[in-house]
Amino acid sequence: MWLPTKLYERLPLWWIVVGLVFMLSALYLGLDYGAAYGYLALGVACSVFGLLITLWRVNHRNSNATDNQSSPDDTAAN
């Protein structure tokens, strides 16, 4: 499945925002309300998922950048 670049780059941020909205909703409802714990758990899961995607992308881009910076002498020796 292909996504436009603008949407693809912003998806982790949206996951984090949705997670924060769920967590704030849980706090707004109060922990006396039974569904608040579900909202809180879902909010934490969404936020962690957004952060993980961001970290995976940063690590992948850094590893590709270091692979592309090898000198021509290194590639000729192999």
Could you state, in order of their start, the residue ranges of all structural domains in the chain?
Answer: 13-56
Q: What is the pLDDT of residues 39-74, one digit of tens each?
A: 999 999 999 999 999 999 989 888 887 777 765 555
| Residues 24, 18: Cα–Cα separation, whole Å | 10
- Residue 7 pLDDT > 80, yes or no? yes
- pTM to 2 decimals? 0.74
77 pLDDT band (50/70/90 cuts)?
low
pLDDT at 21: 97
76 pLDDT band (50/70/90 cuts)?
low
| Residues 17, 20: Cα–Cα separation, whole Å | 5
pLDDT at 75: 57
